[in-house]
């Protein structure tokens, strides 16, 4: 909302990098060309599962133009984004786990030569049984993909009980169980991953990469290359889209570093689109079972949720993904007793990881469809049920997540009234329907990836005598606008314009650490750190200006590139004059700010995943038409409301909301992450179907502002949350249109016809013996479940 | 990135000269017009010609002219065909089909001749060299089995041209120029019965012109089934044309695309329609006959059994469109 006291925040200003983007002058990693630069290619496994008996690179090394070769045994130290899953190697030393797993690499004078040389590398494989699904992997505990994990191909299994759910089911008037399958999908960023490494004559290493997490890449490089982090510099180039697909440290980043060290030349690699499909780290395929007890009026007495995740070949963020499939069910509606059981299984497919919504779109899809089914059982209007069962603000949930502001009820009210829900539901006529869903998402993970007590985001600010300001932060702009955010905050706090601010970001040598662009954490954490830094330096400027103007500093305000006496506007100084005074008085001007999330109230082991400073909320209504003869579904319009706390730049927020809708529609109706004979069936942008602009329906977006006390100026996240309600709202609208339930996504035309003809079979959970449950003791009465804290 | 293999580019000025270069180099040479099909295929090493014969400089292959019917130079881009005044006036169905190919940028480069000659497609074949090596090469390139129909002795890659079914339905012809002379054949004779040798012309012959006869008195349509509103190749194309005498069909053509290695003429269904009123019941029966020769396999987008069913539905809808009956397509909704 526009606030008269704010001149930058809350306004739809242009992004600081917009001119370069539209002029085609943004320098992405693949645009970098350095003197004497070599090119690298990686030889990848043609087998989904095999042991490497031997690798012979001699023919490749002898190929004209080849500068160096590299095999996995030269980089024997494993890495992985999570400390508990250090299961990857830069190149596989002894075993490959999916088609596309890196086996060897070549640096050569150009890319064609490197590729030709890769074909001259001889690898002797012992082929192992490919395990291409959770069911297959569980059925072959003898054929272990990894040598760690509790047993067989289980990567991680969990079971937590928050309150006696069996008692809750006994108290219920009605109990319902459903099973769902979310097929999983990939990020499809426009920019393919690229990296350039340069090891200088001083032995120091610089890596430019399209990464969302330069700090974690920095750590992985130091570990695998056995170098001091002080001698490694990681620069995240502007990302041409990330969506979570550039959040892991990747083998190719380490490979170019090592090849640069071996050759003494800068080395570049740019992945092909097919290789990006193999890097993956996309949405996990998840089978889910959900059981809920309700009273006649719809009040939930207990919920039991199970999820089985198909993890692919490596750990990646998978342990966190697993917890996320059970964490946020509780932060939208009143659920007094809750039980979650989950398992992540290794399979011989590209590794899954975090994609926009990380681990929460799958259970949200299941939950919101399940709620509609419960409402149908009880004869309740699903809109009214949601409105009546929405959590109040300042709630502690059954699984001990602390909810601050919650604009979900307002979101429902907006989309229900704008869409004409009451007039339309069940009344649109044959083949047309309307559906609703709500959702929640984190505004930043409460804990870092590795245990430490340091800030999650640091900002440094430097003020120039000429009135310019430079702001330094490790946060990484992946198109979402984090560089712009830094400029907006500095400009707002110092009373200057964003164009007066020079932003330096995502460079481990120059900028304080920010953990990275994941978990929707940057606006809140970097924003708060930036406010702190800017206010510190503003205090010095005000002190000096106050003396010059002979007014108390508390009366000063900064605006229009001047420092003003709020009581007497005739008394003012230019910002640059005030800076000169402050520097004369205090010496070189600069300040730092940092941010660390508040401590979670939860103390149970595993409670590190789910807590967040605050949650964003969304609601969507989908109206669609369905063709009974063909099964083709066409979405006609979407209304979406998002509780963003405060829209720091409404135009950018709307861009994130609409982008989320687009991505959600692709996941609901099109994207098929399917495999054939051990291979990704369609690793290309032509055959992997994602909507074009012509497939995008009109979207009406509504921003709800709750001014959250944890957020900078009250802001929450907007980059991931709005995706979540879209997928179940499509499924719920299809039910309204045709009276059918397809309990899996994507919803394809053949599945619609199968359901219309009674041939559709609901998904089945894999046979699995769940581990013994951990009964989590309730919090002390002072923070009891559901209590409203003021 | 994926890079082109090395090749020599030859730019002849006449079709005859182009044909001679092709004849001289045999299977090592291939012609290229817009390059929207060949170059991506070369990047994936589906094709590795040592000599590429660029046709862009062949003036005799350009231009669009009305001459009773239409004469389309094979180098006319799909955008030109889709937007040309004479094509829109005389054969709007040709414009429609050309305008449904791929996306605007590719239609600006891709040509009508290239679309008629577009390589057959299969999702075991339209893959990178790495992918094809991993799964095992197929007979269309480097291997000896058909991966989608392992018992088959022939290749089952799909005819994927949007314009071919329409040209066949209109009884169009093409001029083929060889090193020694030229000949003119019906478009329906241009296609073979194997996904590898999918063109019945000699490999050195250059398709220079398309001749669309005057079809006044006919009604024609083309329907394209694909997942998205742009970019995608057809997973089913239906061209239908009828000549009516009052309310009775005098003559009909129904041609299916993307259901076999070549466009398939549903001649039985067309014959069935002759002399009948084009009412709902007749259309249903004709569609029931027409879809039978569709033999989709699991080598394109969406389930093949569904694609086969859709052939019946889409033929019915095409005929209903020609009869002026409601097609059954989802009505436009403005919310």
Residue A777 has pLDDT above 50, yes or no: yes
Residue A533 is predicted with a pLDDT of 98
Q: Is A682 on the interface with B (CB under 8 A)?
A: yes
CA A422 to chain centre: 34
Contact A414, A702 (CB under 8 A): yes
* Contact: B135, A676; criterion CB under 8 Å: yes
CA distance A330 to A94: 43
Distance CA A169, CA A295 (A): 10
Edge-to-edge strands of the sheet including A457-463?
A: A501-505, A469-473, A457-463, A590-595
Give chain A's end-to-end CA distance (angstroms, integer).
24
Helix%, strand%, coil% for chain B, nearest 5: 35, 25, 45
DSSP state of B36: T
Asked if A750's CB is within 8 angstroms of B333's CB, the reply is no
- pLDDT at residue A789 tops 70: no
Q: Which of B129, B131, B284 to probe the A interface (max A CBs under 10 A)? A: B131
Coil, helix or strand at residue A115:
helix
| B142 inside 8 A of chain A by CB | no
pLDDT-based confidence at A3, cuts 50/70/90?
confident
Long-range contacts of A580-587 (CB under 8 A, 24+ apart): A580/A465, A581/A541, A581/A544, A581/A545, A581/A547, A581/A548, A582/A463, A582/A540, A582/A541, A582/A543, A582/A544, A582/A545, A583/A463, A583/A465, A584/A544, A585/A540, A585/A543, A585/A544, A585/A547, A586/A540, A586/A543, A586/A544
Q: Compute, in degrees rounded to 10, the torsion defined by CA atoms B40, B45, B50, B54.
A: -10
Spatial separation of the C-alpha atoms in residues A53 and A73, rounded to whole Å: 12
Residues of A in contact with B301 (CB under 8 A): 687, 689
Distance CA A378, CA B133 (A): 56
Interface contact B131-A750, CB threshold 8 A: no
Which whole number is the average pLDDT over B212-240? 97
| pLDDT given at position B334 | 87
Q: Tell me whether residue B93 is exposed, middle or buried, using C-beta atoms within 10 angstroms of its C-beta: 0 to 12, 13 to 18, 19 or more.
A: buried
Is the C-alpha dihedral spanning A753, A759, A764, A767 positive or negative? negative
- Contact criterion met (CB below 8 Å) for A186 and A673: yes
Query: Are residues A750 and B303, on separate chains, in Cβ contact within 8 Å?
Result: yes
The shortest C-alpha distance from A110 to chain B (Å) reads: 11
Angle at A39 between CA A38 and CA A41, to 5 degrees: 145
Percent of chain A whose predicted confidence (pLDDT) is above 90: 97
Strand ranges across the sheet with A50-56: A95-96, A50-56, A122-127
Q: B82 with B176: CB under 8 angstroms?
A: no
pLDDT (0 to 100) of residue B146: 97
A372: left (phi over 0), alpha (psi -120 to 50) or beta: alpha
Cβ contacts of A630 on chain B, cutoff 8 Å = 310, 313
Q: How do strand A402-403 and strand A395-396 relate by DSSP bridges?
A: antiparallel
**Contact: A753, B305; criterion CB under 8 Å:** no
| End-to-end Cα spacing for chain B | 43
CA-CA distance, B90 to B110, in Å (whole number)?
22
Residues 37-76 of A with CB under 8 A from B: 44, 46-47
pLDDT tens, residue by residue, B172-208: 999 999 999 999 999 999 999 999 999 999 999 999 9
Q: Are A99 and B132 in contact (CB under 8 A)?
A: no
Pairwise CA distance, residues A238 & A218, whole Å: 17
A688-713 residue pLDDT tens: 999 999 999 999 999 999 999 999 99
Band (pLDDT 50/70/90 cuts) for residue A788 is very low
Say whether B96 sits in a helix, a strand or coil. helix
For residue A787, pLDDT over 70 is answered with no
Rounded-to-integer distance, Cα B29 and Cα B25, Å: 6
How far apart, in whole angstroms, are the C-alpha atoms of residue B60 and residue B71? 12
Q: Which neighbouring-strand residues pair with A309?
A: A286, A344
Please state, in angstroms and as integers, the Cα–Cα distance from residue A195 to each residue in A109, A206, A228, A695, following that order: 16, 10, 20, 33
A753 and B309 within 8 Å at the Cβ level: the answer is yes
CA of A536 vs chain B CAs: smallest distance (Å): 47
Question: How many beta-carbon pairs below 8 A join chains A and B?
Answer: 87
What does the alpha-carbon distance between residue A146 and residue A314 come to, in Å, rounded to a whole number?
A: 8
Backbone angles phi, psi at A303, to 5 degrees: -140, 135
B332 touches chain A (CB under 8 A): no
HSE value, Cβ hemisphere, 13 Å, CA-based, for A13: 23
Q: How far apart are CA A199 and CA A215, in angstroms?
A: 19
**What pLDDT score was predicted for residue A4?**
80
**Cβ–Cβ below 8 Å for B301 and A689:** yes
Write down the mean pLDDT value for chain A.
97
The chain B residue lying nearest A278, using CA atoms, is B131
Nearest to A692 among B229, B303, B309 (CB): B229
Cross-chain residue pair B313–A634, CB shorter than 8 Å: no
Yes or no, beta carbons of A627 and B303 under 8 Å apart = no
Residues of A in contact with B313 (CB under 8 A): 629-630
pLDDT (tens digit per residue) in A204-230: 999 999 999 999 999 999 999 999 999
Could you tell me if B285 lies within 8 Å of chain A, comparing CB atoms? no
List all residues of chain B from 292 to 311 with a beta carbon under 8 Å from chain A: 301-303, 305-306, 309-310
Contact B335 A99 (CB under 8 A): no
Q: Where are the alpha helices (DSSP H) in A72-121?
A: 111-118
Distance CA B249, CA B242 (A): 7
d(CA B230, CA A330): 41
Residue of B nearest to A686 (CA): B232
pLDDT score of A780: 73
Tell whether the model's pLDDT for residue B267 goes beyond 80.
yes
Tokens of B54: 């660029």
Identify the residue whose tokens are 């949007």.
B162
Cα-Cα-Cα-Cα torsion B262, B266, B267, B270, nearest 10 degrees, comes to -140
Supply B137's token pair: 């090469």
Residues in chain B: 335
Please write the tens of the pLDDT for every residue from A64-83: 999 999 999 999 999 999 99
Q: How far is A670 from chain B (nearest CA, A)?
A: 8
Instruction: Out of A623, A679, A691, name the one closest to residue B134 (CB).
Output: A679
Q: Which of A112, A627, A694 sits opposite B228 (nearest CB)?
A: A694
Using DSSP, state whether A363 is helix, strand or coil: helix
Q: What is the mean pLDDT of residues A154-167?
A: 97
Q: In whole angstroms, how far apart are CA A146 and each of A256, A318, A578, A675?
A: 26, 14, 62, 21
Q: Beta strands B69-73 and B206-212: pairing type? A: antiparallel
CB of B2 within 8 Å of any CB in chain A?
yes
Q: Which two tokens mark A36?
A: 């004497």
- pLDDT tens for B283-311 read 999 999 999 999 999 999 999 999 999 99
Say whether A689 and B228 touch across the interface (CB within 8 A).
yes
Beta-sheet strands, E only, within A283-425: 286-294, 300-312, 338-346, 395-396, 402-403
**Which pLDDT score is estimated for A2?**
64
With an 8 Å Cβ cutoff, is A115 touching chain B? yes
d(CA B96, CA B165): 12
Q: Which residue of chain B comes nearest to A40, CA vs CA? A: B1
Report pLDDT digits (tens) over B11-65.
999 999 999 999 999 999 999 999 999 999 999 999 999 999 999 999 999 999 9
Q: Is the pLDDT of residue B245 over 90?
A: yes
Give Cβ neighbours of residue A204 (< 8 Å, ≥ 6 apart).
A231, A232, A233
> Cα(A276)–Cα(A192) distance, rounded to whole angstroms?
6
Q: Where do the DSSP E strands lie in chain B?
A: 8-10, 29-32, 51-54, 64-67, 69-73, 173-177, 182-186, 206-212, 218-225, 236-245, 248-257, 264-265
d(CA A213, CA A82): 13
Q: Where are the alpha helices (H) located in A344-498, listed in sequence order?
A: 361-378, 382-389, 408-419, 421-424, 482-494
Q: Which of residues 81-110 of A touch B (CB under 8 A)?
A: 99
Q: How far is A589 from chain B (nearest CA, A)?
A: 46
Inform me whether the pLDDT recorded for A783 exceeds 60: no
pLDDT of A1: 60
Residue A302's beta-bridge partner residues? A293
| Average pLDDT over every residue of A454-461 | 98
Task: Spell out the residues 6+ positions from residue A22 whose beta carbon is closer than 8 angstroms to its own.
Answer: none
- Quote the pLDDT of residue B209: 98
Question: A753 and B331: CB-CB below 8 Å?
Answer: no
What is the side-by-side strand order in the sheet with B248-257? B218-225, B236-245, B248-257, B264-265
Report the gap between the CA of A751 and the closest CA in chain B (Å): 10
Mean pLDDT, residues B272-291 taken together: 98
Report chain B residues whose CB lies below 8 A from the CB of A273.
2
**Closest approach of B137 to chain A, Cα-based (Å):** 12
What CA–CA distance (Å, rounded) separates A167 from A155? Answer: 31
Provide the mean pLDDT of chain B: 97
* Helix%, strand%, coil% for chain A, nearest 5: 30, 25, 45
């Amino acid at each position: 909302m526009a606030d008269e006291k704010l001149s930058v925040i809350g306004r739809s200003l242009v992004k600081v990098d917009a001119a370069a983007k539209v002029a085609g002058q943004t320098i992405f990693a693949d645009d970098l060309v350095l003197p004497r630069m070599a090119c690298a290619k990686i030889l990848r496994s043609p087998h989904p599962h095999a042991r490497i008996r031997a690798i012979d690179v001699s023919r490749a090394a002898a190929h004209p133009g080849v500068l160096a070769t590299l095999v996995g045994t030269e980089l024997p130290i494993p890495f992985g984004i999570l400390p508990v899953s250090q299961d990857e190697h830069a190149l596989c030393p002894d075993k490959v786990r999916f088609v596309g797993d890196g086996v060897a690499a070549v640096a050569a004078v150009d890319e064609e030569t490197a590729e030709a040389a890769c074909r001259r590398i001889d690898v002797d494989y012992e082929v192992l049984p490919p395990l291409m699904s959770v069911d297959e992997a569980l059925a072959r505990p003898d054929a272990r993909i990894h040598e760690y994990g509790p047993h067989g191909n289980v990567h991680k299994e969990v079971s937590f009980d928050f309150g006696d759910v069996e008692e809750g089911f006994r108290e219920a008037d009605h109990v319902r169980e459903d099973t769902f399958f979310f097929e999983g999908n990939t990020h499809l960023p426009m920019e393919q991953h690229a990296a350039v490494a340069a090891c200088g004559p001083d032995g120091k290493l610089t890596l430019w990469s399209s990464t969302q997490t330069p700090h974690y890449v920095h750590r992985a490089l130091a570990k695998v290359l056995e170098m001091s982090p002080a001698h490694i510099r990681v620069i995240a180039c502007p990302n041409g889209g990330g969506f979570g697909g550039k959040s892991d440290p990747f083998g190719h980043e380490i490979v170019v570093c090592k090849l640069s060290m071996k050759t003494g030349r800068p080395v570049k690699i740019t992945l092909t689109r097919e290789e990006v499909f193999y890097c993956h780290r996309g949405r996990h395929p998840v089978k889910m079972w959900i059981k809920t007890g309700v009273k006649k009026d719809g009040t939930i007495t207990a919920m039991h949720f199970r999820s089985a995740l198909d993890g692919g070949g490596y750990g990646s963020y998978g342990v966190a993904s697993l917890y996320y499939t059970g964490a946020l069910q509780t932060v939208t509606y009143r659920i007094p007793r809750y039980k979650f059981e989950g398992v992540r299984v290794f399979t011989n497919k590209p590794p899954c990881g975090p994609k926009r919504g990380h681990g929460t779109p799958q259970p949200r899809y299941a939950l919101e469809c399940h709620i509609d089914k419960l409402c149908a059982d009880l004869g309740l209007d699903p809109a009214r049920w949601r409105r009546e069962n929405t959590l109040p603000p300042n709630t502690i949930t059954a699984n001990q997540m602390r909810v601050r502001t919650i604009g979900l009820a307002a979101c429902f009210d907006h989309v229900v009234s704008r869409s004409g829900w009451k007039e339309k539901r069940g009344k649109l006529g044959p083949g047309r329907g309307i559906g609703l869903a709500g959702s929640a998402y984190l505004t930043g993970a409460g804990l870092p990836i590795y245990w430490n007590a340091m800030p999650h985001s640091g900002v440094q600010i430097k003020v120039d005598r000429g009135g310019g300001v430079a702001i330094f932060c490790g946060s990484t702009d992946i198109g979402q606008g984090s560089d712009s955010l830094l400029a907006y905050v500095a400009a707002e706090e110092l009373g200057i314009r964003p164009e007066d601010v020079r932003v330096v970001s995502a460079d481990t040598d120059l900028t304080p650490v920010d953990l990275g662009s994941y978990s929707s954490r940057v606006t809140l954490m970097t924003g708060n750190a930036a406010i702190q830094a800017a206010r510190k330096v503003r205090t010095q400027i005000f002190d000096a200006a106050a003396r010059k103007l002979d007014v108390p500093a508390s009366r000063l305000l900064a605006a229009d590139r001047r420092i003003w006496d709020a009581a007497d506007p005739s008394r003012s100084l230019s910002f640059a004059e005030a800076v000169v005074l402050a520097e004369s008085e205090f010496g070189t001007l600069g300040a730092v700010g940092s941010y660390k999330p508040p401590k979670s109230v939860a103390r149970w082991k595993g409670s590190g995943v789910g807590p967040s400073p605050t949650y964003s909320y969304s609601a969507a209504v989908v109206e669609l038409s369905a063709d009974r003869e063909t099964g083709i579904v066409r979405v006609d319009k979407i209304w979406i409301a998002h509780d963003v706390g405060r829209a720091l730049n409404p135009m950018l927020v709307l861009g994130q909301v609409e982008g989320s809708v687009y991505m959600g529609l692709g996941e609901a109706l099109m994207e098929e992450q399917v495999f054939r004979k051990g291979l990704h069936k369609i690793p290309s942008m032509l055959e992997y179907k994602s909507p074009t602009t012509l497939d995008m329906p009109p979207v009406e977006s509504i921003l709800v502002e709750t001014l959250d006390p944890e957020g900078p100026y009250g802001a929450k996240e907007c980059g991931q949350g709005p995706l979540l309600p879209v997928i179940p709202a499509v499924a719920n609208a299809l039910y309204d249109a045709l009276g059918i339930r397809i309990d899996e996504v994507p919803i394809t035309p053949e599945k619609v016809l199968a359901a219309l003809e009674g041939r559709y079979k609901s998904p089945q959970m894999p046979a699995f013996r769940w581990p013994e449950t951990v009964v989590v003791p309730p919090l002390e009465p002072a923070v009891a479940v559901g209590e409203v804290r003021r | 990135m994926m890079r082109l293999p090395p090749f020599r580019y030859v730019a002849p000025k006449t079709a005859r000269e182009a044909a001679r270069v092709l004849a001289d180099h045999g299977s090592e040479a291939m012609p290229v017009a817009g390059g929207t099909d060949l170059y991506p295929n070369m990047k994936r090493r589906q094709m590795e010609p040592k000599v590429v014969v660029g046709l862009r400089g062949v003036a005799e292959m350009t231009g669009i002219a009305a001459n009773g019917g239409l004469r389309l130079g094979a180098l006319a881009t799909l955008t030109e065909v889709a937007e040309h005044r004479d094509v829109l006036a005389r054969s709007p169905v040709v414009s429609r089909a050309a305008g449904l190919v791929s996306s605007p940028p590719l239609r600006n480069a891709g040509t009508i001749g290239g679309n008629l000659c577009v390589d057959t497609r299969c999702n075991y074949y339209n893959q990178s060299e790495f992918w094809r090596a991993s799964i095992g090469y197929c007979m269309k390139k480097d291997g000896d089995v058909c991966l989608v129909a392992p018992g088959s002795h022939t290749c089952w890659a799909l005819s994927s041209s949007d314009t071919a079914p329409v040209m066949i339905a209109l009884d169009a012809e093409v001029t083929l120029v060889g090193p020694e002379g030229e000949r003119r054949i019906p478009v329906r004779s241009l296609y073979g019965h194997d996904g590898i040798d999918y063109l019945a012309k000699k490999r050195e012959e250059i398709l220079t012109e398309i001749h669309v006869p005057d079809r006044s008195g006919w009604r024609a349509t083309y329907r394209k089934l694909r997942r998205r509103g742009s970019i995608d190749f057809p997973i089913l194309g239906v061209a239908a044309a009828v000549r009516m005498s009052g309310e009775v069909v005098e003559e009909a053509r129904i041609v299916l695309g993307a259901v076999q290695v070549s466009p398939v003429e549903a001649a039985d269904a067309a014959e069935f329609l002759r002399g009948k009123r084009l009412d709902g019941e007749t259309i249903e029966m004709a569609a029931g006959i027409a879809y039978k020769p569709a033999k989709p396999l699991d080598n394109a987008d969406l389930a093949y059994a569904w694609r086969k069913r859709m052939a019946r539905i889409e033929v019915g809808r095409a005929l209903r469109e020609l009869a002026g009956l409601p097609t059954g397509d989802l009505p436009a909704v403005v919310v």
